[in-house]
Structures are given as C-alpha cells and as structure tokens.
Amino acid sequence: MYKQKYLIFIVTLFFFIGAVKVNCLDVYEFTFNGKKYEIVKEKRDWNSAASVAVSRGGYLVQINSKAENDAIFSAIMNGAKISQTYTTVMDGGGVAYLWIGATDKLEEGKWFWDGDNDGVGDNFWNGQGVAGKGGGKPVSGFFVNWGGAYSNTYAEPDDFNNNQDAAAMALEPWPKGMGGLGIAGEWNDISITNSIYYIIEYDEKIGIPELINPENNSIDIERKPTFLWKSVDAEFYHLQVSLKQDFSSDIIIDESTLNDTFYIPSTEFEAGIKLFWKVNASKGTKIGDWSEVWNFTVKDIPPPAKPTLVSPANNSKRVDTLPKFIWNKVDADWYHLKVSLTEDFSSGIIIDKENIKDTSYQATSKFEPGKTYYWQVSGFKKKYGEWSDKWNFKVMMMQPSAPQLLMPENSAENVELKPLFKFSLTPYADSYSLIISTNSDLTQPILIKTIPASENKDTFRLEEELMPNTVYYWGMFASNEEGESPLSPIWKFTTQNSTSVNDDFTTEKIVIFPNPTNDKLQFIAPQGKDIANIEIYNCIGIYIDILLFNGSNLVLDLSYYPHGVYYFYAKDKNGIIISSGIFIKN
C-alpha cells in the first residue's frame, strides 16, 4: 500500500466581489487494490465535502468490503495520523469522525452510496439499528459496518433526534468513555451539518488508445483495411466505425471485446464511402474515454451502366397477366428490378427483386387486368448503377360479367315514375348500361343510360319521368375496352298512377332512436307495415344512400356520415312511401 502526504492549493475566484480566496488542503493519499484514496484534513459538512470530492475528480468513499474498511481506517490512524480528539461530534456520542459517501437524506432509513451527491447510487441498507426503531438490515450482496457490527448486532443507524442523514467512520468507541453502540472503524449516522474531515475515492483511469491506421483524412483506402492503434493497460478494446461523425447512427463495425491492437473487417466496405472510426479501452468494469475520431474514404469503383429495357415495350397494351421482363446486359454482378403501380415508385410496389443474375425475370403472380404498371432496372457491381428509363405497360382487360338486377324487383307494381334502380357491381367493368323499353326483348329501348364504374355506385335514380300505369322492361350489361358482358336477365315493373302516399302515413310513422345521435340510428317499422327500403337525402335534397330493410328493424351506422340534418323515406317493395322523417347526426 502506497502512502503519501502532501499539501494542495485550491484557488477559487469570487468574481462578484473581485477577490481571490486560497484554501490550503492537507491531504494524505494512499492506494488500495489499485485505486487511489485521499484523506482530506479539512472540516466541511457532508454536502460541501461531496462537492469538493467531485471538483477533484472523485467522490466521498464507497466501502464495499471489510478489507477496504480496514485499509481506510489504518490509513487514517497510521498514515494521516489523525488525532482521535481533533473534533467532537456531539450527536455522535462525543467522538471524532470522518465523512464517508453514505446518506439517507432522500428517504429516511433508505441508505445509498451517493458520494457525488447526485441523488443516484447503490441502496445498501434499509431501516434502523436497535438503538433506533430496529428492524434494519443490509441489502443482499452489500458490505455494511454500522456501529455494533463487531457484536453482530447493529445498533446504528438510529436517526437520533430525527436529524442524522449522513454516515461517518468513528475514530474511537461511542458513546465516549462508555462504548456499547460502536467501536473505532465502524460507521455511525450523524447530522449532515457536522463539520469534519472526509475521505475521497477515485475510480481507476484507463488510458486512451492512440490511432495509427487508416490515417486521418486518408483517401483511396482498400475496402478491407487493417485498423491499428497503440496499446494501453487494458483487457479489451472497443472499435466503432460509422458513416456518421457523431456515431449517432449507421454504425458499421461495433466490436467491444477486441484483445489485440488491430482489426481486419470480415467483409468489404462499400466503395467510395467516407467512414469515421474511434477506439476506447476497458479493464474490468472500468471503461476509458474514446480516442479522437479519425476519418478515411474507401477507394471508389465505377458503377454499372444504365440498362436498356426490351420487353414489355414502353406504352404497350394487352400485356399478359404473367409478363416476362427482359433488358439488355451491362457489366454488373446482378440486377435489381422494380415494378410499381405509381410512376415515381413511391408506393404500390408490385415487384422489388434484387440479385437477379440473368437479364430477364418471369413474374410469378398474376398482374391485375386493366391496370397500368411502371418498371425499371439497375445493375449492381460493388455499388448500384443508374436506373434505366421508366417504361409502362397495360395488362389486358378481362371481359366483365353481367350485373345482377336488384331493384325494382321483377314484376314490381306501383313503382314511382322516377324509379331508383339498384344492381350488383361486377369486376373489371368500366361502365354499366341500363336499358329501359316497353318491349319484353328490349329491342326498342326508350332509354339507355350509361353509368361510369369509377363512381362505384350500385344505384341509379332516373331523372326522366316514366309514363304512369305502364309496364316497362329493363336490363343491364357491363363494358370495358375488351368488350361487353352478356345482357342481364330482363325484368319488368309497372309504374304507379301517380306519386302516392299510404293513407296512414301521417298516423303510423316509423320509429327512429336515438335522435340526435353520434354513431348508430335504429329504425323500427310500424306494426303491419312491410318496408322494403329506406332512402336517405341530405338537407338540400341530394340523394345519399339506400338501405334494404329486412325484418322489423334496421340499425344504420352513421360513423362515416358528416354532421348535419338528413331526411329519409321508407318505401314498400312497390315504391310507395310508408313513412318519412328527419334525423340529426351530431
């Protein structure tokens, strides 16, 4: 054990009074297990002593073993030669003490090693000794040496007068002249405001490696360089290589258990990139500071040329649903093919295939008929080449099937003069054609209406008024660029004499609740009334929706309806109004 006594001068500038204060510290230094300690013969309260310890690069001592405790007490008595009577701590039994780094000032009875006074540390003891409330005990795995430890009965800590929040090492038994609560070298809790000597502990310092190779700011470095640095007294070295100078992300190499002073990457770096690297050292649980950060640039290579696309040809139509993509060869190790529904490839990616060794690729999943797709190819050899031009093609359209007629029902009577037609949507349709005729084979249509499929609506309200009390026939077919579907089955209906309302419409209304509502609205039909559907309009009369009414009640989900006032008409299967009303969406 090395011991040394010396004087250290600390200069503190008080700018607010323009004066200079000089404190002369009488310090005794010693080492234990490779760590440095200082016994400072300067009287300070616990908080002030911790501040001085931090300003000197250490902290008030944390004692983790009996051997460490004995070494410190021996250094106090035999090295620093501190008199047992250098001071008197009255709330500590009238004997002298030196501060150590334990405190329970944050929570009474919960003792922490917090020698730097930052509120963070190891909890090593909970409760009080038998001189206090009793029941205290050490936290598993931690050494304690409270007063009474010599007899295996902890008397301390006792929080005498509810004002003892810091620990100190006693220089003789206490109470003075009597003993019984503790002996020299054991710990006692005393008032944090006592002014006594203190013990500082320093963590072992680990050296900082000096970087050698690749040199700082070097260029044209091989893609698998050898990293070299000078050795320090350490067990392991930690090498980091990053694309970012601050190492906040893009860490390419992060090797923390290197036991030699060189490292060769297992894979090549990407050509032409700039990299940053640094090294630190560790020994046991101690980790040294990072070296300075050096950078180097990896040797670049020319990228592959831009491929020329061959097939499917640009702007081609009627391409098979399983297309084969072909392009010209360039000097590349492999190719990257992208196929997308969007021209900028920001979304709708259908194929994103890398590592294609040949100059063609056969699609394995069918493309959607009628859709336009965009494709491009790039080569890769150590790095990516430029993308080819973007080409597009359209997949051949499937012929649509015939829509199914839903309303007016076949042979319906008393249908309103401006009927609402409802039908099923079919895949691949661009438009629907509605044919109305007074001939059963539709050979002499009186109206043909085209309904765009892009509107995605399965209902159509006729704007023209049909003749009253007339039998009409109707059918539909779907169309796209490939052709037309077969004609649907032909249905018929008979129009009403004039717009009619049920006689008891005003007395037997449909029940709706709750109204107003935020989400769901329930319709309950009047007894004995068969409601086929409910039409909904907004406050300015624009048609919004139609609901098929099966049974005696229906629940409408309004979560997608805008806030406002709505009108509804409940009709039977012949289009006669049964009831109407208003509801409000909050």
Q: Which residues contact 43 (CB under 8 A, 6 or more apart)?
A: 87, 195, 196, 197
Q: Name the β-bridge partners of 378.
A: 336
pTM of the model: 0.41
Identity at 432, one-letter amino acid code: Y
pLDDT of residue 539: 66
Closest CA to 278 of 260, 266, 259, 296: 296
Cβ atoms within 10 Å, residue 408: 26
Per-residue pLDDT of the chain (586 residues; tens, 9 = 90+): 334 433 333 333 333 323 223 345 899 999 998 789 999 999 999 999 999 999 999 999 999 999 999 999 999 999 999 999 999 999 999 999 999 999 999 999 999 999 999 999 999 999 999 999 999 999 999 999 999 999 999 999 999 999 999 999 999 999 999 999 999 999 999 999 999 999 999 987 888 999 999 999 999 999 999 999 999 989 999 999 999 999 999 999 999 999 999 999 999 999 889 999 999 999 888 899 999 999 999 998 888 999 999 999 999 998 999 999 999 999 999 999 999 999 999 999 999 999 999 999 999 999 998 899 999 999 999 889 999 999 999 998 888 999 999 999 999 999 999 999 999 999 889 999 999 999 999 988 888 899 999 888 999 999 888 888 999 999 999 998 878 899 999 999 999 985 443 433 334 678 888 888 888 998 888 777 788 889 888 866 678 888 888 777 888 998 888 888 888 888 888 888 888 888 888 8
Domains of the chain from N-terminus onward: 3-202 (3.10.100.10), 211-298 (2.60.40.10), 309-395 (2.60.40.10), 405-495 (2.60.40.10), 511-585 (2.60.40.10)
Q: What tokens appear for 468 in the block?
A: 């009253």
C-alpha span between 201 and 216 (Å, rounded): 38
C-alpha span between 435 and 455 (Å, rounded): 19
Note the Cα 488 to chain centre separation in Å: 53
Closest CA to 385 of 469, 302, 267, 290: 302
User: Which value, to the nearest 10 degrees, does the dihedral of the CA atoms of residues 53, 59, 64, 67 take?
Assistant: -30
C-alpha span between 50 and 56 (Å, rounded): 10
Please report, for residues 72, 149, 170, 220, 298, the alpha-carbon distance to residue 100 in angstroms, rounded to integers and kept in the order given: 10, 17, 10, 57, 54
- Is residue 211 within 8 Å of 291, Cβ to Cβ? yes
Exposure letters 427-458 (e unless 16+ CB within 10 A, then b): ebbebbbbbbbeeeebeebeeebebebeeeeb
Note the Cα 280 to chain centre separation in Å: 30
Q: Please report where in the chains the tokens 């309004």 appear, as a residue.
A: 558
C-alpha span between 246 and 276 (Å, rounded): 9
DSSP 20-80: EEEEEEEEEEEEETTEEEEEEEEEE-HHHHHHHHHHTT-EE----SHHHHHHHHHIIIIIS
